Structure 1
Amino acid sequence: MKIVQLVPAMDQGGVERGIVEMNRVLVAAGHDNLVVSAGGRLEEQVLAAGGRTARVDIKSKNPLTAFSRARTLRALLEREKPDVVVAHSRVPAWLFILANRKLRLKWITFAHGANSVSAYSRVMTYGDVTVTPSKYIADYLTEHYKIAPSRLRVIPRAIDREKFNTEKLDASFMDEKRREWKIDGFRVVMGLGRITQLKGYDVLIRAVARLHSEHLASGVSSPDWKLVIVGEAEALRKEYEESLRRLVESEGISDNVVFAGAASKVAECLSLADIVVSANYKKPEAFGRSMAEALAMGRPVVAAAFGGALDIVEDGVNGALVDVDPKADAAEMAVRFSDAIRSVASSDFKDLRPSALEKFSFERMAARSLAVYGEFENLEKKSDIRG
């Protein structure tokens, strides 16, 4: 079976890493998988696993170039003649619709997040089948777009038990990062993911500033706190990163915050944390891959009590959930997150890794995914899928 995946770029992020993993599953099952994007560092991992890559600008939102880019995409699809195309974002989905007018290829939309409700976002329900990473996203699409349940497939993202293996960590890498981040003697709070406003890093910085102030005021000899932000800002969001750096300075915690950049070895980075925090409180995570991976590395998680986090974090069992109030500002949310971090730090959680691996097994994800692709084998028309 020949499959074409459409994704804006193959740089960092949970969606992109999920495509790398799915490529491995599809290739192992004997399928021809082509990942089309504007390029990125993760292309190498696709190629190393036996997949293929091609570069088409399906990232730009410029409407003036949309038709020319759609023609380029159509030419590629005419050459490849795929059995099914998978669109992983709105721009690629719209470009595919333009490219597919005469080709009439079957396709899957993978709705990775809860995009703003609009005609533009509705495109993520236009596939013959729509896949979501959590019940939260499936319910969101059903509520706002009235998509038929028969066309929805929920496939939670998986944890790669080999990659996230506590027994196979790169000790030299970890030693290097300990020195670089200067974390010895600190309780390490980690935020993981690209630097965008939706990730709530401003709240996390304020929360750690509060914990640091409490530490200084207590006079107790317990370790101080250090925040490590693992991720980088895209070129268009560099100003937001600079605003975070200014916030760190204004809070007087320059020695307590590290901007670590993109992670080359996520498992090792997570293992250097004491607590992993998803401080996103404005827009729910669709799933929250880094939260599940943190649990697989035996690290408790603090997250806002909405969205995909509810499928991963159990309050008092493997971390803490922070109540979200739409009226609360960043300062109030920082208080709530700091309280949750402090509570988790004083708790003793058991069996985090085995329970996470059981719930989010790679084998389960692979089987469900292959079953969805299997629906498109040997089909001649869309009605075979949509009913």
Structure 2
Amino acid sequence: MVILQLIPELDAGGAERTTIEMAEAVTRAGGRCLVASCGGRLESALLEAGGELIRLDMKSKNPVTLWRNAARLARLIEAEGVQIVHARSRAPAWSGRWAARRTGAAFVTTYHGTYSARTGLKRVYNAVMASGDRVIANSYFIADHVRAEHGVGEDRLRVIPRGVDLDVFDPAAVAPERVAAMRARWGASPGEAVVLLPGRLTRWKGQAFLIEALAGWPSTIRLVCAGDAQGRGAYEDALKAAAEAAGVTLVLPGHESDMAAAYMAADLVVCPSLEPEAFGRTAAEAMAMGAPVIASDHGGAREVVAEGETGWRAAPGDAEAWRNAIAAALALDSQARAALAGRGRARAAALFSKQALQESTLQVYRELLE
């Protein structure tokens, strides 16, 4: 099989990681996987996985650029014998759809988010993600949204949760030195409770809300918000000012490449998103690493975190509910924490493995090729 994946950039994020994971799976299955993208820090990971980068401006939403990209992709499809075009974002999906229809290639989309649609024009723009010969939803929450918003039938809709690489996110594979180095980089002293919030710095991810929830906490907590600011310097400055005013010790280390060690270095992992997450990959990764997890009780996180069994779910934006959940998590003794860790890893392995994602997506490709 020859697959062409389309994604704006290869910097960080669940869609980008899934792109690389499918390049690995296609290559292992004896096929070729091309990826049209602007590129980014994950380029080397793509090449190591066996993927081939085609550098194109897949980020632009300019209609002229979209049309030109469609022509470029059509030529690429014909030159390389591409059989399936798989789009993972709206702007490149428009170019990919036109190119696929022009050349007769099959067209697949992965619906990675709810995509706000406040106007009719925006709904039309979003609808391209539901126009594939197969439409992959990365959670049952997203599948319900796609059915309601676009009327996609079960003949085209497939639910494939995002995957966790259980070889990378394996507590036994992380040396204590990596964990100690991570805590030292964060400035955490022995015995100090570290609360980790992984995710890019943007208001809807809940960093500012969590600072508010931790204001006046009776014991010392070091809040680590690990993720790119992505040009949001004003928001980063606002977080620092809010933390100082609230008496919260805040660390903003930027992008962390060794997330397996980061999860182990934390006493608690929180995902306080104010808007529903499509899936909640960081919560699944943290569970795989045996970390206690609290996630907002909406969206795909409800499918990831089993309340009271593998972690907690708290009402989004409810400071009191979050304070109660944080207190319960930090009060766990070593025996209860170990039991929670075992259940969390077992759930991640059973429901959210990278191998399951890869095989399920390959099966979608095989359906279309047959």
Q: Tell me whether the two structures share a fold, i.e. TM-score over 0.5.
A: yes
**Structure 1 counterpart of 2:226:** 230
State the alpha-carbon separation in 1 of the partners of residues 22 and 173 from structure 2: 22
The one-character-per-residue Cα deviations of 1:112-140 (angstroms, maximum 9, x if unpaired) are: 11112412111110000000111000001
Matches of 1:314 and 1:142, distance apart in 2 = 25
- 1:148 and 2:153 are equivalent in the alignment: yes
Identity of aligned residues (%): 38
The separation in 1 between residues aligned to 2:51 and 2:101, in whole angstroms, is 27
Q: Which residue in the other structure is 1:21 paired with? A: 21
Query: What's the secondary structure of 1:150's corresponding residue?
Result: coil
- Give the aligned residue type for 2:203: Q
- Residue 306 of structure 1, CA deviation: 1.0
Structure 2 partner of 1:75: 75
Q: CA separation in 2, counterparts of 1:131 and 1:178?
A: 38
Contact 1:208 1:227 in 2 (8 A): no
Deviation per residue, 1:152-203 (Å, 9 max, x gap)? 0001122211101111114433322222211122111111111122211111
1:137 maps to which of 126, 138, 142? 142
What's the Cα RMSD here? Answer: 1.7
CA contact (8 A) 2:38 2:58 kept: yes
If the length of structure 2 is used for normalisation, what is the TM-score? 0.91
Deviation of 1:82 (Å): 0.6
> Residue 267 of structure 2 is aligned with which of 267, 274, 299?
274
Q: Does residue 264 in structure 1 map to residue 257 in structure 2? A: yes
Structure 1 CA distance for aligned equivalents of residues 330 and 309 of structure 2: 13
CA distance in 2, matches of 1:175, 1:64: 51
Moved more, 173-182 or 14-23: 173-182
User: 1:64 deviation in Å?
Assistant: 4.7
One-letter amino acid of the counterpart of residue 188, structure 1? V
1:220 paired residue number = none
Amino acid at match of 2:365: Y
1:4 partnered with 2:4: yes
Cα 1:210–1:132 change in 2 (3 A) is farther
The answer (yes or no) to whether the contact 2:93–2:109 under 8 Å persists in 1 is yes
1:287, distance to aligned residue in structure 2 (A): 0.7
Amino acid at match of 2:345: R
- Structure 1 pair 210/26, CA: closer, same or farther in 2 (3 Å)? farther
Structure 1 residue 245: Cα displacement? 2.1
Length, aligned pairs only: 357
Structure-2 residue corresponding to 1:321: 313
Q: Shift of the alpha carbon at 1:320?
A: 1.0
Partners of 2:288 and 2:92 lie apart in 1 by 32
Indicate the residue corresponding to 2:349 in structure 1: 357
Q: How does 1:301-380 map onto structure 2 within 5 Å?
A: 301-324=293-316, 333-347=318-332, 348-349=336-337, 350=339, 351=342, 352-378=344-370
CA contact (8 A) 2:23 2:51 kept: yes
CA distance in 2 between counterparts of 1:23 and 1:302 reads 32
C-alpha distance in 2 between matches for 1:111 and 1:251: 38
C-alpha separation in 1, matches of 2:216 and 2:57: 44
Q: TM-score, normalised by structure 1?
A: 0.88
- The counterpart of 2:201, out of the listed 192, 195, 202, is 195
Shift of 1:278: 0.6
Does structure 1 conserve the Cα–Cα contact (< 8 Å) formed by 2:8 and 2:37? yes
Gaps in structure 2 of 5+ consecutive residues: 118-122
The aligned counterpart of 1:384 is: none
SS in 1 for 2:124: coil
Task: State the alpha-carbon separation in 2 of the partners of residues 368 and 70 from structure 1.
Answer: 28
Residue in structure 2 matched with residue 382 of structure 1 by the alignment: none
Q: Post-superposition shift, 1:58?
A: 0.9
CA separation of 1:60 and 1:250: change in aligned 2, threshold 3 A: farther
The alignment partner of 2:253 has SS state of strand
CA positional deviation for 1:101: 4.8
Q: CA deviation at 1:81?
A: 2.7
Matched with 1:127 is 132
Distance (whole Å) between structure 2 residues aligned to residue 205 and residue 60 of structure 1: 34
**CA-to-aligned-CA distance 1:20-69 (integer Å, 9 cap, x gap):** 12221111111101111111111111101222111100112233533333
Paired residue for 1:240, among 235, 242, 255? 235
What residue in structure 2 maps to residue 218 of structure 1? none
Letter of the 1:243 partner, please give it. Answer: A
Residue number in structure 1 paired with 2:120: none
Tell me, yes or no, if the aligned pair for 2:14 and 2:162 is still in contact at 8 Å: no
| Cα-to-partner distance string for 1:93-123 (whole Å, 9 max, x where unaligned) | 1122343452232110100111124121111
**Distance in 2 separating the partners of 1:334 and 1:74:** 51
Q: Structure 2 CA distance, aligned partners of 1:238 and 1:39?
A: 23
Contact 1:85 1:106 in 2 (8 A): yes
Instruction: Please name the residue that 1:206 is paired with.
Output: 212
Moved over 6 A (4+): none
